[in-house]
Amino acid sequence: MLVNLVEILKMAEETKSAIGAFNTPNLECLNAVIDAAERLNVPVIISHAELHEGVSPLAKIGPVMVQAAQNAKVPVCVHLDHCETLSYMQQALDLGFTGVMYDGSTLPYEENLANTKKAAAIAKGYNCGVEAELGALASREGGEGAASGPVYTDPEEAAAFCKEAGIDALAPSFGTAHGIYKAKPVLDLDRVKVISEKTGLPLVMHGGSGVSPEDYRKAIANGLRKINYYSYMAKAGTQAVKELLAKEDVTFFHDLALAAEKAMGADVEKAMRIFAGL
């Protein structure tokens, strides 16, 4: 069942849980995520990141994602992650995406606000929910290292931004980073609570994979309603393929794809259980 970002985040608010948002750049990821959500009977967000355009063009994977959401037995939001240009957002809206994240976090505050307002106004015309980012995470999406340190989101600034921007969810910066963690992340979860209270909006955790179960639970209790999770799921898929190839002389690619899908499904299911409080 296809739902929009506002509807799915409302479900999370009602149950004081978080919805997992998983990138699905190919069919193996998509099957792993939707099947796991159906096994657990939880709502889920499937995402396409603008950064993955080279891996999987939006024009090809987008319609597949929308159709998978429509056919799913659980509520599914189809979301555009880290969109930096309005023309790319427009492509997703035309395909029927029901959530978009406009990311102007690298821009100066005023420019980020002006662009976010514009993006939100356009998306609303398509009954599509909007997420925005304020502050800066430690590294780029899918990136390896940090070019510069994180800039934590200021709660007062977040409150003013959300009041003006007309958005439905905010991604603040509070210590998580994209990609694979080299050291255990130290999260400022008190900051999350203050931002949640001051903005009154559902909050989003980026760089969500690799965070400890205790930190997930505390973050959810403090107002996190959407957790972006991808790197560790993708890593689980690669690991399964490596193990299979070490054991057997595999000829057909579909056997590798299936092994990856199964391992990603198991990894995602574990994350979904924690996010849903199961």
Residue closer to Zn ion, measured from CB, 28 or 50: 50
Residue 51 CB, nearest approach to Zn ion (Å): 9
Residue closer to Zn ion, measured from CB, 105 or 259: 105
Q: Indicate the Cα dihedral angle 278, 19, 187, 169, nearest 10°.
A: -150
Q: Which residue has the CB atom at the shortest distance from Zn ion?
A: 206
Residue closer to Zn ion, measured from CB, 141 or 269: 141
The residue ranges that bind Zn ion (CB under 5 A) are 141, 206
Task: Check 35, 81, 188, 255 and give the catalytic one.
Answer: 81
Residue closer to Zn ion, measured from CB, 150 or 259: 150
In 65-87, which positions are buried (b, 16+ CB within 10 angstroms) versus exposed (e)? bbebbeebebbbbbbbbbbbeee
Is 103 an annotated catalytic residue?
no
Beta carbons of 225 and 195 less than 8 angstroms apart: no
Amino acid at 148: S
**Nearby residues of 261 by Cβ (< 8 Å), 6 or more positions away:** 28, 29, 31, 32, 237
Scanning 222-252, the segments in alpha helix (DSSP H) are: 231-247
Residue 152 CB, nearest approach to Zn ion (Å): 16
Residue 196 CB, nearest approach to Zn ion (Å): 19
Residue 101 CB, nearest approach to Zn ion (Å): 8
CA distances in angstroms from 222 to 134, 161, 190, 210, 216, listed in the order given: 18, 20, 8, 19, 10
Report the catalytic residues: 81
